């Protein structure tokens, strides 16, 4: 494409005034308005009325002005309420006229009503979502009205037609700075990859085409800043192009100067979609088109600057556009796509998004919960009330991406504590594996299938040598339940030793085995077959940091239980513990503790079960499995939660001897356990863990993070302890450091304040005073620092307040 080469000398104000008088009979004062090629003036008459007088560049053809006039007339006729400029006819009743300026050039002139207001560029950031949605709505309404408009000039070759964005490649050398040049080139390549292949799926229609922040006007922004009247001016870039380019251009410019571009773009898109719904391909194109528009804009500026070095209009958005392109380069386009999909309002919950019709066409009602209050009320009446809900202000999450969760308004929250999405919420590789296998086959394990075999092979190769036989189930509870059966079958004994405050699952036996439950509200107390050992907590427990032989001292209690049981002829089948207890308060055992315990347990003929449901799979950074950090090898290991990155899967892995005892004639079968889809999820998780070296990331980022938190601990007495490793950390809040008195109320306050600030954390421990930090392993240094600085801000405010 050849960019407009010529520039014309500006028409002087006096000449504009003369022409306005000749053609329109107006006695007016002219004031110059900005414009890239044409001369634009505001005409002020003595009676205080204003109009916009356009004296077009000499190269402009009649059809160009005719198109704009007719489009504005079409809008005035079919959508009269839209606050777009109106065409004012000449004294002879023409839409436009051809005249000669003082410099002797022939030009087209036309007159429009003046729309007062501030430009979007002049409004303060962050711009409210309501305002941005109004911009999107206006454009959606303009474009739906223009669906019935046609004019031959809309199909002209225009540089702002994003379907032709790759013209900008030829002009990249105009950008002097090599880093900037490659940034623009990067987004043109993204366009090539993402837009070209789906070109035939992107609808084309007549669009306004130039919703940049200087063309969007907001009237009375002072009196009603959230609900201003939004209008657009300058229809000179109207063309037939990708419909989705319309909101993409608006979104691209609305993000200039904004810290959270996705939030801003989402609001514009949501407004547009409410009047002109876009399809999935268009939503996939949205971010690449936003970026392409800014890339085209900076290339255009660089080229025009070479041509007209002192024209401020040319570079009006340039600095902000570069800054925004840099921000865009930090956004994964797939994240943007995932995020924008939720602007399609019926896409929030896939299960509720289907047409309200039976196969025979008859209608049936589907309840939708439009507001948070409705969802909450329905939850209370439809679900058991003892299903708790997090935060004083409950969160309705509709989308996840890596370390972020998004609520129903599109707000992003940094997820610092959900340990199930190990490699990140909705990791595309895991999602693709699940989707592909689900489309192929999902069935039970009574047939040969390679997924389960590959997964068993991969998982056993990550475990130490005696742990070689796998059983697959669907949840941590099922896995612990099965581990219990294995231990009992192998030892022909019943009783189990468990640590105080532990939680191992929600089945009847596991509630009996979880002091956190049976000693808590509604609990029925300890059953005779359960033996509780004190938890080896060196911060708040029986023996504390600084004392010698902590591991041995705590382990001695287990030895005592074993001796007593032996004396009373209770057979202990197993000792079960999380290798780093999480529910009990992100506890790290003293060195040597489990080695000593396992020694006692084994010499009493019992088995050692490691519940790795929370800490396995590299979370600790230093070790892949929690038990490795204690230098032990369990007889049975229980895996769950993160194993399928939120797809239900759990496993029990044991030794061939224990497996042989369990093979006693009774079949073991779990309908869903180890199904091809679950194993595909598990395999994809291991692939991502390895290929992205996420255990190393946990070690590195977690290390910095602990140091940041320790600095906060030095400053704020409320922080009694910072403990853990990698991305398994706990911040123990105390009201009195000397006695480690738990600061339960403050912990709850902080977690709720963090939520207000967009950071999701939770509490754990018997006193609910330990902030648990267990983010997805893709968490970055800046994510960790954001958590630390937000926590610091809240501590500075004084979290002791109610
Ligand atoms: N073990 C531990 C250590 C757990 O934390 C949990 C769940 N919080 C379970 C077992 C039970 O897992 P699920 O909820 O998947 O049944």
**Ligand 1 pocket, mutate which of 420, 504, 615 (most atoms under 8 A from CB):** 504
Mean per-residue pLDDT for 587-616? Answer: 98
Residues with CB under 6 A from ligand 1: 475-477, 480, 503-506, 578, 582-583, 611, 613-614, 640-641
Nearest-atom index, ligand 1, CA of 581: 3
pLDDT tens digits, 151-179: 999 998 899 999 999 999 999 999 999 99
CB atoms within 10 A of CB 369: 17
Mean per-residue pLDDT for 726-751? Answer: 95
Confidence band, pLDDT 50/70/90 cuts, at residue 507: very high
288 φ/ψ sector (left φ>0, alpha ψ -120 to 50, else beta)? alpha
- pTM exceeds 0.85 for this model: no
Q: Quote the CA–CA distance of 485 and 760 in Å, as a whole number.
A: 37
pLDDT at 4 over 60: no
Between the CA of 719 and the centroid of ligand 1 the distance, in Å, is 27
Between the CA of 219 and the centroid of ligand 1 the distance, in Å, is 56
What residues contact residue 600 under an 8 Å CB cut-off, 6+ apart?
555, 558, 559, 562
Nearest-atom index, ligand 1, CA of 480: 10
What pLDDT, on the 0 to 100 scale, is given for residue 15?
Answer: 94
Nearest-atom index, ligand 1, CA of 505: 11
Residue of minimum CA distance from atom 12 in ligand 1:
476
What pLDDT, on the 0 to 100 scale, is given for residue 412?
Answer: 82
**Ligand 1 pocket, mutate which of 641, 651, 774 (most atoms under 8 A from CB):** 641
Between the CA of 441 and the centroid of ligand 1 the distance, in Å, is 28
What token pair was written down for 751?
């977690």
**Ligand 1 pocket, mutate which of 576, 615, 640 (most atoms under 8 A from CB):** 640
Enclosing H/E stretch for 768: none
Q: Quote the CA–CA distance of 188 and 191 in Å, as a whole number.
A: 5
Confidence band, pLDDT 50/70/90 cuts, at residue 519: very high
Percent of the chain past pLDDT 70, that is, above it, reads 94
Nearest-atom index, ligand 1, CA of 478: 16
Cis peptide before 126 (omega within 30 of 0): yes
Between the CA of 769 and the centroid of ligand 1 the distance, in Å, is 20
Q: Quote the CA–CA distance of 731 and 321 in Å, as a whole number.
A: 41
Mean per-residue pLDDT for 586-601? Answer: 98
pLDDT tens digits, 277-312: 888 889 999 999 999 999 999 999 999 887 766 666
DSSP letter (8 states) at residue 351: G
Mean per-residue pLDDT for 685-692? Answer: 97
**Ligand 1 pocket, mutate which of 478, 479, 499, 505 (most atoms under 8 A from CB):** 505
Between the CA of 523 and the centroid of ligand 1 the distance, in Å, is 18
Cα 318 to the chain's mean position, in Å?
28
Between the CA of 477 and the centroid of ligand 1 the distance, in Å, is 6
The residues facing 608 across adjacent strands are 575
Between the CA of 557 and the centroid of ligand 1 the distance, in Å, is 25
Q: Quote the CA–CA distance of 116 and 231 in Å, as a whole number.
A: 9
What pLDDT, on the 0 to 100 scale, is given for residue 802?
Answer: 39
550/223: higher pLDDT: 550
**Ligand 1 pocket, mutate which of 506, 613, 646 (most atoms under 8 A from CB):** 613
pLDDT at 60 over 50: yes
What is the Cα Rg of the chain in Å?
33
pLDDT at 225 over 60: no
pLDDT at 801 over 50: no
Count, residues in the chain? 802
Q: Tell me which residue has tokens 């025979």.
A: 360
Between the CA of 706 and the centroid of ligand 1 the distance, in Å, is 26
Confidence band, pLDDT 50/70/90 cuts, at residue 546: very high
Between the CA of 476 and the centroid of ligand 1 the distance, in Å, is 5
Residue of minimum CA distance from atom 2 in ligand 1:
504
Between the CA of 505 and the centroid of ligand 1 the distance, in Å, is 5
Enclosing H/E stretch for 575: strand 572-578
Between the CA of 420 and the centroid of ligand 1 the distance, in Å, is 10
pLDDT tens digits, 478-489: 999 999 999 999
What token pair was written down for 306?
């070479």
Residue of minimum CA distance from atom 10 in ligand 1:
504
Percent of the chain past pLDDT 90, that is, above it, reads 82
Q: Tell me which residue has tokens 């398994």.
A: 728
Between the CA of 678 and the centroid of ligand 1 the distance, in Å, is 18
Q: Quote the CA–CA distance of 128 and 120 in Å, as a whole number.
A: 12
Between the CA of 639 and the centroid of ligand 1 the distance, in Å, is 9
Side-by-side strand order, sheet with 607-611 = 469-473, 650-654, 636-639, 607-611, 572-578, 495-499, 530-533
Q: How far is CA 513 from CA 506, 562, 613, in A?
A: 10, 17, 16
**Ligand 1 pocket, mutate which of 387, 418, 476, 642 (most atoms under 8 A from CB):** 476
CB 619 within 8 A of CB 724: no
């Amino acid at each position: 494409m050849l960019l407009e080469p010529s520039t014309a000398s500006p028409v002087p104000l006096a000449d504009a005034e003369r022409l306005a008088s000749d053609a329109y009979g107006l006695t007016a004062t002219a004031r110059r308005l900005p414009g890239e090629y044409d001369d634009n003036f505001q005409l002020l008459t003595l009676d205080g009325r204003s109009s916009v007088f356009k004296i077009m560049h000499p190269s402009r053809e009649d059809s160009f002005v005719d198109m704009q006039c007719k489009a504005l007339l079409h809008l005035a006729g079919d959508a009269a309420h839209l606050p777009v400029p109106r065409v004012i006819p000449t004294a002879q009743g023409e839409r436009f006229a051809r005249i000669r300026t003082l410099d002797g050039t022939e030009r087209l002139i036309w007159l429009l009503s003046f729309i007062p207001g501030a430009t979007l560029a002049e409004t303060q950031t962050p711009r409210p979502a309501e305002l941005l949605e109004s911009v999107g709505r206006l454009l959606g309404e303009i474009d739906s009205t223009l669906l019935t408009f046609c004019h031959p000039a809309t199909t002209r070759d225009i540089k702002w037609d994003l379907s032709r964005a790759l013209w900008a490649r030829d002009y990249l050398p105009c950008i002097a700075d090599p880093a900037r040049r490659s940034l623009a080139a990067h987004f043109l390549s993204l366009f090539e990859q993402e837009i070209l292949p789906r070109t035939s799926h992107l609808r084309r229609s007549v669009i306004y085409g130039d919703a940049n922040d200087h063309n969007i006007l907001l009237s009375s922004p002072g009196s009603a800043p959230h609900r201003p009247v939004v209008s657009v001016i300058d229809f000179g870039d109207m063309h037939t192009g990708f419909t989705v380019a319309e909101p993409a251009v608006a979104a691209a410019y609305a993000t200039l100067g904004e810290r959270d571009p996705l939030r801003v773009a989402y609001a514009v898109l949501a407004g547009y979609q409410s009047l002109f719904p876009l399809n999935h391909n268009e939503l996939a194109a949205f971010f690449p088109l936003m970026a392409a528009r800014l890339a085209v804009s900076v290339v255009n500026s660089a080229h025009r600057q070479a041509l007209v070095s002192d024209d401020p209009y040319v570079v009006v958005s340039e600095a902000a556009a570069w800054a925004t392109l840099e921000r865009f380069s930090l956004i994964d386009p797939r994240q943007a796509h995932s995020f924008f999909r939720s602007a399609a309002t019926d896409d929030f919950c896939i299960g509720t998004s289907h047409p309200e019709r039976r196969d025979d066409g008859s209608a049936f009602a589907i309840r939708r919960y439009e507001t948070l209050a409705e969802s909450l009320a329905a939850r209370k009446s439809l679900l058991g009330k003892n299903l708790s809900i997090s935060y004083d202000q409950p969160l309705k999450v509709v989308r996840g991406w890596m370390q972020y969760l998004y609520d129903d308004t599109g707000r992003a929250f940094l997820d610092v504590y959900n340990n199930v999405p190990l490699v990140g919420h909705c990791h595309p590789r895991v999602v693709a594996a699940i989707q592909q296998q689900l489309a192929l086959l999902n069935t039970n394990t009574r047939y040969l299938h390679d997924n389960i075999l590959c997964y068993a092979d991969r998982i056993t190769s990550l475990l130490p040598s005696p742990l070689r036989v796998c059983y697959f189930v669907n949840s941590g509870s099922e896995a612990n339940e099965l581990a219990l059966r294995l231990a009992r079958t192998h030892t022909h004994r019943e009783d189990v030793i468990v640590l105080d405050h532990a939680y191992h699952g929600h089945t009847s036996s596991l509630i009996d085995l979880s002091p956190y439950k049976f000693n808590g509200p509604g609990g029925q107390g300890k059953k005779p077959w359960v033996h509780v050992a004190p938890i080896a907590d060196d911060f708040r427990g029986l023996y504390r940091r600084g004392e010698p032989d902590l591991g041995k001292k705590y382990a001695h209690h287990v030895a005592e239980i074993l001796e007593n049981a032996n004396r009373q002829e209770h057979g202990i089948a197993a000792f079960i513990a999380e290798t780093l207890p999480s529910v009990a308060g992100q506890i790290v055992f003293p060195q040597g503790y489990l080695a000593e315990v396992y020694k006692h347990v084994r010499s009493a003929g019992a088995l050692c079960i490691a519940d790795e449901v929370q800490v396995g799979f590299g979370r600790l950074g230093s070790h892949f499995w929690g038990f490795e950090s204690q230098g032990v090898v369990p007889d049975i290991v229980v895996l769950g939660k993160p194993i399928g990155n939120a797809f239900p899967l759990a496993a029990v892995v044991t030794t061939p001897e224990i497996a042989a005892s369990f093979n006693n004639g009774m079949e073991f079968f779990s309908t869903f356990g180890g199904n091809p889809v679950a194993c595909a999820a598990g395999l994809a998780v291991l692939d991502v863990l390895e290929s992205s070296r996420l255990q190393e990331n946990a070690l590195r980022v977690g290390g910095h993070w602990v140091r940041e938190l320790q600095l906060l601990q030095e400053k704020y007495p409320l922080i009694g302890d910072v403990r853990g490793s990698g991305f398994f950390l706990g911040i123990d809040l105390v009201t009195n450091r000397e006695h480690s008195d738990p600061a339960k109320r403050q912990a709850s306050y902080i977690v709720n304040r963090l939520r207000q600030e967009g950071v999701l954390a939770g509490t754990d421990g018997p006193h609910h005073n330990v902030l648990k930090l267990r983010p997805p392993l893709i968490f970055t240094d800046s994510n960790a620092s954001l958590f630390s600085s937000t926590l610091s801000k809240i501590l500075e405010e004084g979290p002791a307040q109610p």
